[in-house]
Chain A
Amino acid sequence: MWEQIRFNQIRSAILVAAMAVLLLVIGYFLGLVFLNSAIAGLIIALVIWMVMNLIAFFQGDNIFLALSKARKIERDDHPRLFNIVEEMRIASGLEKMPDIYIIDDPALNAFAAGRDPKRASIAVTSGLLQKLNRDELQGVIGHEMAHIKNRDVLLMAMCGVLLGTIVILAWYATRMLFFGAMFGGRRSSSGGGGQAQLIIFAVGIILMILAPIAAYLIYFAISRKREYLADASSALYTRYPDGLASALEKLGGSTAQLQSANQATAPMYIINPFRKKGKAASDLTSTHPPISERIRILRSMAGGASLADYDTAYRQVRKGRRGFVSASAIASVGAVGLREAEPEAARREPEPDKVERTREVSDLMWRLNDYRTIICDCGTKLKVPPKLKRVNVKCPHCGRINPI
């Protein structure tokens, strides 16, 4: 049943193909204008694209994790997070447990990396661990697990590479065109066919300006679809769409900006890390669907947690536009019930509240940064930096001298 769920695969493929064609057209014109040979331009474009693809395929996740300053953690560092990830791994039917990374940042965000389900990682910010309760965290991890399961990570990496190549080529081309115009390019000497040359030249300029914009738009279109799909899958895994909805509310309401994100890595996160400083995540984000809409869809999934239920809610919220789940996928999945909300009083596990969660996470970050913890006799925890040269420290509370 689960492998029949292949919505949008064709539409994604068409969009990727459109980007590839765009790249080839750019290469063609570049060759024509600068090298007098369209084939040479095509070959250069293809070679750049291939090299970047290979890098992205084999080292993409490492580069990405390093760029976002993520640190790998072990089970003992944060057992609850590990348990939640394992729960979602089981629910999604994934075979291998992904590696777990943490980013020391008060912003609320998370992403998945890795080219296939066998080599995957999930990273969350420390802010996320502090602010979200168990159900909300489960929804977010479910969303990331869906990206891994649906192989979105690879698709988005490949699209990102395509986009990057197009942007780089267009950038150099415009520079070279200006350069050529200023110093009267060598082609003026060849004479003849001036009219045709001029047309090609004009088309080339327009193309160089429009191509990156078109590529961005296609890229964002693909990215948005995958976000909806991951939301739907998360609801299916957890059987509890309200968990993710409430997490998204917290994420959207947060004003902290992620320090280590950049334009190229933006689509990988659960919400767009870029927005005007100080403002809440607005609905104008483009790599991701508007948060308010994602929340409304999840909240209106009253009937069940299946993909068909998400599709119904999706169409309801977006006012009768076409759904995005294929009919065959809906037909193949039976009715899926929602998990009953547990009344707060009847919870078996008294959940750690926000203060405890914050303490837990900050202790974890101290540990990861090699700080040593000394517990003073008065109960104060002293965090000792790794480079401190002294042999003992004085407790600021009671004044006792503690040896390091």
Chain B
Amino acid sequence: MIAIYIIIGIVVLLLLIFVGIYNSLVRLRNQVRNAWAQIDVQLKRRHDLIPNLMETVKGYMKHERETLEAVTNARNLAQGAIGKGVGAQSKAEGELSGALSKLLAVVENYPDLKANQNFLALQEELTSTENKIGFSRQFYNDSVLGYNNKTQMFPSNVVAGATGFKAGEFFEVEVAAEREAPKVSFS
């Protein structure tokens, strides 16, 4: 009789552990999804800001057509990449970041533009949106790391495997320009 009780006890205990792990997996996966939604909000905000920025900048920067076009194109590409998976989207957004920072670097040459109140407000919004994208990416990646650890480490990996939890994908920003080694010349 006692043996049966012990076996029942062990089965119940295992079941409880299984449920506990399953619930924490669900919670972590929801956190990852929520974190992704946060990134999405900020990316959308950036896409919305760019036409405004173009409108303000256009009048001042007559000689920077290429830089302006690069930003517009990168924005359209990023807009098109929405919903095509984390990898594709992070690549397109990386390009957009690169194009934008080039544009904002050129602004230094236009003192009139820098004095424009409208532009200054836009610039604060844009800088902050870039920061927010950075921070939401940071939170997303931290969440993915925690979730992936849980799906891959024993014993939770057994539960994850049995119930179909797959590892999440990191949001990496890779800008082609950033990966090139800086050129140093001593001439």
Chain A residues in contact with chain B, CB under 8 A?
1-2, 4, 79-80, 83-84, 86-88, 90-93, 237, 239, 332, 334, 348-350
Are B128 and A87 touching (Cβ within 8 A)? yes
23 residue pairs A–B, Cβ–Cβ below 8 Å: A1-B142, A1-B143, A1-B145, A1-B149, A79-B125, A80-B124, A83-B132, A86-B132, A87-B131, A87-B132, A88-B135, A90-B38, A90-B42, A91-B136, A91-B139, A93-B31, A93-B139, A239-B138, A334-B145, A348-B105, A349-B104, A349-B127, A350-B114
Query: Contacting B146 at CB < 8 Å: which of A80, A87, A332?
Result: A332
| Residue interface bits B79-93, CB-to-A below 8 A is 1, else 0 | 000000000000000
Q: Quick one: which of B114, B127, B131, B139 has the most chain A CB within 10 A?
A: B131
With A2-B146, A348-B101, A350-B114 known as contacts, the answer to whether A83 contacts B139 (CB < 8 A) is no
Query: Does B152 sit at the interface, judged by CB under 8 A?
Result: no
- C-alpha spacing A216/B140, complex, angstroms: 41
Q: List residues of B (18-47) whose CB comes within 8 Å of A's CBs.
A: 28, 31, 35, 38, 42
Query: Which residues from chain B contact A84 at a C-beta distance below 8 Å?
Result: 128
Residue of A whose beta carbon sits closest to that of B133:
A90
With A87-B135, A93-B139, A332-B146 known as contacts, the answer to whether A348 contacts B128 (CB < 8 A) is no
Query: Does B123 sit at the interface, judged by CB under 8 A?
Result: yes
Query: Which residues from chain B contact A1 at a C-beta distance below 8 Å?
Result: 28, 142-143, 145-146, 149
Chain B residues in contact with chain A, CB under 8 A?
28, 31, 35, 38, 42, 101, 104-105, 114, 121, 123-125, 127-128, 130-132, 135-136, 138-139, 142-143, 145-146, 149
Q: Specify the main secondary structure of chain A where it touches its partner.
A: helix
- C-alpha spacing A350/B28, complex, angstroms: 39
**In whole Å, how far is B108's beta carbon from the nearest beta carbon of chain A?**
8
- C-alpha spacing A399/B81, complex, angstroms: 61
Are A79 and B132 touching (Cβ within 8 A)? no
Q: Quick one: which of A4, A80, A87 has the most chain B CB within 10 A?
A: A87
- C-alpha spacing A334/B152, complex, angstroms: 14
With A90-B135, A90-B136 known as contacts, the answer to whether A79 contacts B142 (CB < 8 A) is no
**In whole Å, how far is A136's beta carbon from the nearest beta carbon of chain B?**
15
Are A79 and B145 touching (Cβ within 8 A)? no
Residue of A whose beta carbon sits closest to that of B145:
A334
**In whole Å, how far is A395's beta carbon from the nearest beta carbon of chain B?**
23
Query: Contacting A86 at CB < 8 Å: which of B35, B128, B149?
Result: B128
Query: Which residues from chain A contact B149 at a C-beta distance below 8 Å?
Result: 1, 332, 334
- C-alpha spacing A350/B116, complex, angstroms: 13
- C-alpha spacing A91/B137, complex, angstroms: 9
Query: Which residues from chain A contact B125 at a C-beta distance below 8 Å?
Result: 79, 83
Are A90 and B132 touching (Cβ within 8 A)? yes
Query: Which residues from chain A contact B124 at a C-beta distance below 8 Å?
Result: 79-80, 83, 349
- C-alpha spacing A386/B5, complex, angstroms: 81
**In whole Å, how far is A329's beta carbon from the nearest beta carbon of chain B?**
12
Are A348 and B104 touching (Cβ within 8 A)? yes
Residue of A whose beta carbon sits closest to that of B108:
A350
**In whole Å, how far is A336's beta carbon from the nearest beta carbon of chain B?**
8
**In whole Å, how far is A28's beta carbon from the nearest beta carbon of chain B?**
41
- C-alpha spacing A400/B44, complex, angstroms: 49
- C-alpha spacing A170/B31, complex, angstroms: 48
Are A91 and B123 touching (Cβ within 8 A)? no
Query: Which residues from chain A contact B136 at a C-beta distance below 8 Å?
Result: 90-91
Residue of B whose beta carbon sits closest to that of A335:
B145
What would 8 more interface pairs be, CB under 8 Å, given A2-B143, A92-B139? A1-B145, A83-B132, A86-B132, A90-B132, A91-B136, A93-B139, A349-B123, A350-B114
Residue of A whose beta carbon sits closest to that of B101:
A348
- C-alpha spacing A237/B134, complex, angstroms: 11
Query: Which residues from chain A contact B123 at a C-beta distance below 8 Å?
Result: 349
- C-alpha spacing A87/B124, complex, angstroms: 13
Residue of A whose beta carbon sits closest to that of B24:
A3
